Amino acid sequence: MSEANHDDVYAYALSKTLTEVSSPATVGLYSSCENRIHRILGQMAVYMKQEALNIEQKYEGRHKPRSVAPSLGGLLALIGRMLFYRPIWTKENQQQQNIRFINVHFSAWHFAGSDLLWAGLAIRLFHAMQMNFGKLQIVLYRVAQHDDDEEVKKKTMEDSPSHWRTKMFCCCPLWSLCLLILVVAPIVLAYLLTFGLRELKPGAALNGTTTQVGVMEGLVIGAIGVPAASALRFAFLIGKNLIFNQDLNIKRGMDNDRISIRLGFMDEVRKEMWFLSQFIRFMEVFERRRIRVVLKITNLDRCSPKKIVAVLDAINILLSDEESPYISILAVDPDVLVQKVNSADGCFSKEDRAYAMLNRIVTLAFTVPPLCDDSKRTLFDSLASISKEPERVIPSEGKRGTRSLKHTRCCVEIASDTSESYELMDRDTSAPDANEEEVEESVRSILTSGRRNLNEYMFEDAMSMRREINSIRLTVIIMKALKKELPQPDHIAAWVVLANQWPCRLSWIIQCVEDAQQRAAIDRNDETDAADSKTLWQVFSESRAELYVMSPQIEDLLEQDGDPEMFERFLKMDFRFTVQDFKTFEEATVNLDRSIRTQLAHLRGTARLKDSGWMRNLAPLPITTIVNMDKEDVCKELKRMKFPSKYIDIVRSKDLNGLALIFGDADDLKDILGMTLGEWATFRLHFLGPPSHLRPQHKQMAVKPLHCQNQR
């Protein structure tokens, strides 16, 4: 049995983390590979179910959780609790150790034809709840338990040994009155039908009247008729809600333009989502376990920008109530999502842009790291085998074997908790494992470490702090599962804070390190030890001019970063991380959006395109290359272009480095060099680019110094 592949490790770490995350929560699962997203989601369902079973097996409390398997006894017990009792909210039943996950898959593409995509989200949740709990149970709760006024009432926790309170009617328990009616009423009714009232009261007709008999008949009819009428009303409400359920009402509202554009339609949907939350809270007390609804939102990046924004708003509005049991997993390609959201109507301010919107919603960001070389080779081999054997399919990362097509389809369509989810498990790979006690001890040590004060580097909003706490736990689990030695506790926390507070600058540093490693491999430079010992601040200092030059093109990325001076202090003084430290954290750095690095790599790679042949002397040098040139580099370039030596001497004497060429006045340069018109045209085209009237017309943006870029 081989070691667990990395995608399994990531799914395992997420499943372990979600058992500890408080709801409501939104997880951003980011990857450009749809197959990897589906695989991780499928494996998460397996690991979460296994984790819930492990917790229940280790539970030693006095009240064991109820079985979720359908049974007649369980149904009767649930009906009895709904009809005759009300739950008491105590600290014990609101902080249960046991947990149950309900997986709900929402493919946004399936509802893309509707103008109200967010309403489709609510409908999908209703269907999932009916499938998992039963339609009758939900309707019975609505009729017997639900009260709309509870939403505005103040919620209080009670210190009670009991978790249930009997419903009272006329100072008597409701169940006793119902029992009395069920037992006594049939006896009285049978007696009356057999003997009649006249036998009951002989001589009642005095003076030619039947007054006493009429009064007695009225009392008997009233005593039996009122409960019968109440029972008929109750049955009518049950039947009405079974036929005209809420998802049908939402569909009607979506189809009716007059209703769907009404201001209160979303509020009505929100109330129904609150009803579902209250029903799940009731079931938590009944089952004696926490219930978390894991809503997996996929294919959202395939929808139009307007609908994407609507769904993100729905997550923020409908699923983020403080009592919501929902954990939303937003599985998307971040690069596509960001571009579409930024192009949506109404995206005017900084807070309307994609990154700001995601930061307001996402409580745990998880970017799937890229495939390693071995995994790429395995994937290539499996794809090559498919062309020869149609019955063979793509294996998961790190797996040499293959699976049948019907097993792979499970990766594409993730449903609720079913046994089919276990088909995703690879039989020839071991399941990831991390010792729970060691993980908890490490997380506790990291969070309570007082060696270095990280509080001053954190943003003051609670959402950012929740992201950092969740990311710390996730990082520890991944490193434990990958059998890596954990660094110092304060270094783990500092690395998570660095990725959360300055994602653009850290992505730039990582890209520069990667480019340097690739260049060293091309040049066959073996000085890896020296490169690994270089601090990240040194890497940033050497390339900050290049980042400054391209800053107008990455304004939206730089807006995510915090205070630049605090960044300098963080890396230069408090935490002197090295390239070797980055390599240690690389596979566990999942809270850093890789799409940022992709954009930076594209800009840097485009700027460093190298021309060959006769165009090499005419093609303009990339501005990022010129910025890093000293006067000797400029002289070497002039010598290569076969300029006269007198111009090389002038460059040396006037100290004309790359910065002087870019930011100096072109006319002044022409006068200093004293070139002929032809020589100046070649020099200007190569070092300064074409004249402004020959350049493509792009949006002109002022270049702002990095230390002024949107301090937060």
* Better-predicted residue by pLDDT, 592 or 160: 592
Alpha carbons 431 and 408: distance in angstroms, whole number: 18
pLDDT computed for residue 506 by the predictor: 93
Instruction: Give the separation between CA 533 and CA 523, rounded to whole angstroms.
Output: 20
Identity of residue 618 = L
Q: What is the pLDDT of residue 537?
A: 92
Task: Provide the pLDDT for residue 321.
Answer: 75
175 contact partners, CB below 8 Å, separation of at least 6: 80, 83, 84, 166, 167
Strand, coil or helix: 164: strand
Joined together, the tokens standing for residue 54 give: 């492990």
Taking the complete model, does pTM exceed 0.85, yes or no? Answer: no
Please give the helix or strand (H or E) that residue 542 lies within, else none: helix 536-549
Rounded to an integer, what distance in angstroms lies between the CA atom of residue 465 and that of residue 350?
Answer: 21
Count of beta carbons in the 10 Å neighbourhood of residue 258: 7
Q: Binning pLDDT at 50, 70 and 90, where does residue 166 land? A: confident
- How high does pLDDT run on average in the chain? 76
Measure the CA–CA gap between 460 and 710, rounded to whole angstroms. Answer: 16
41 or 436, which is more confident? 41
Nearest Cα residue to 416 out of 11, 101, 50, 121: 101
| Parallel, antiparallel or unpaired: strands 326-332 and 290-298 | parallel
Residue 4 has what pLDDT? Answer: 57
CA distance 421 to 679: 70
Specify burial of residue 236 (Cβ count, 10 A radius: 0-12, 13-18, 19+).
exposed
Predicted confidence (pLDDT) at residue 352 exceeds the cutoff of 60: yes
Angle at 510 between CA 509 and CA 512, to 5 degrees: 65
State pLDDT tens for residues 19-34: 888 888 899 999 888 8
Buried b or exposed e, range 598-610, using 16+ CB within 10 angstroms: ebbbebbeebeee
Distance CA 17, CA 472 (A): 10
Q: In 10 A of CB 188, how many CB atoms?
A: 12
Phi, psi (rounded to 5 degrees) for 675? -85, 160
CA distances from 266 to 70, 114, 346 (A): 34, 15, 19
* Residue whose token pair is 């919501």: 324
Tokens of 80: 């009895």
Q: What is the pLDDT of residues 118-162, one digit of tens each?
A: 777 888 888 888 888 888 888 898 888 887 767 666 666 676 777
The Cβ of residue 40 has, within 10 Å, a number of other Cβ atoms equal to 27
Least confident of 208-222, 586-600, 675-689: 208-222
Residues in CB range of 151: below 8 A, 6 or more apart: 271, 274
Contact 2, 398 (CB under 8 A): yes
- Max mean pLDDT range (249-258, 410-419, 561-570): 561-570
Find the range with the poorest average confidence among 125-134, 166-175, 610-619: 610-619
pLDDT over 70 at 72, yes or no: yes
73-82 as b/e: b if 16+ CB within 10 A: eeeeebeebb
Q: Are strands 99-107 and 164-166 parallel, antiparallel or unpaired?
A: unpaired
- At residue 262, the pLDDT reads 56
Burial 665-703 (b: 16+ CB within 10 A, else e): eeeebeebbebeeeeeebbbbbbbbeeeeeeeeeeeeee
d(C-alpha 662, C-alpha 640), whole Å = 20
Task: For strands 25-30 and 326-332, give the pairing.
Answer: parallel
Helix (H) or strand (E) holding 331: strand 326-332
* CA proximity to 607, closest of 619, 618, 621: 621
pLDDT over 60 (residue 493): yes
Measured between alpha carbons, how far is 344 from 313 in angstroms, rounded to an integer? 13
Residues 6+ apart with CB under 8 A from 600: 504, 507, 508, 511, 554, 557
| Highest mean pLDDT (candidates 160-174, 610-624, 698-712) | 160-174
pLDDT of 264 reads: 65
| SS3 of residue 578 by DSSP | strand
Residue with the bigger pLDDT between 395 and 450: it is 450
Could you read off the pLDDT of 401-453 as tens digits, one per residue? Answer: 443 333 333 333 333 444 333 333 444 456 677 778 888 888 888 888 755 66
Bridge partners, 297 (sequence order): 106, 330
Per-residue pLDDT at 193 exceeds 80:
no
Q: What is the mean pLDDT of residues 299-304?
A: 86
SS3 content of the chain, % helix, strand, coil (to 5): 65, 5, 30
At residue 697, the pLDDT reads 41
pLDDT tier at 101, thresholds 50, 70, 90 = very high
Of residues 277 and 115, more confidently modeled = 277
Report whether the peptide linkage leading into residue 24 is cis, meaning its omega lies within 30 degrees of zero.
yes
Of residues 710 and 619, the one with the higher pLDDT is 619
Highest mean pLDDT among 212-221, 241-250, 293-302: 293-302
| pLDDT above 60 for 541 | yes
In angstroms, the CA 381 to CA 473 distance is 35
Whole-number pLDDT of residue 306: 83
> What is the C-alpha separation between 132 and 102, in angstroms, rounded?
8
> Tell me, what's the pLDDT at 293?
92
Q: Residue 85 corresponds to which tokens in the numbers above?
A: 């009792």
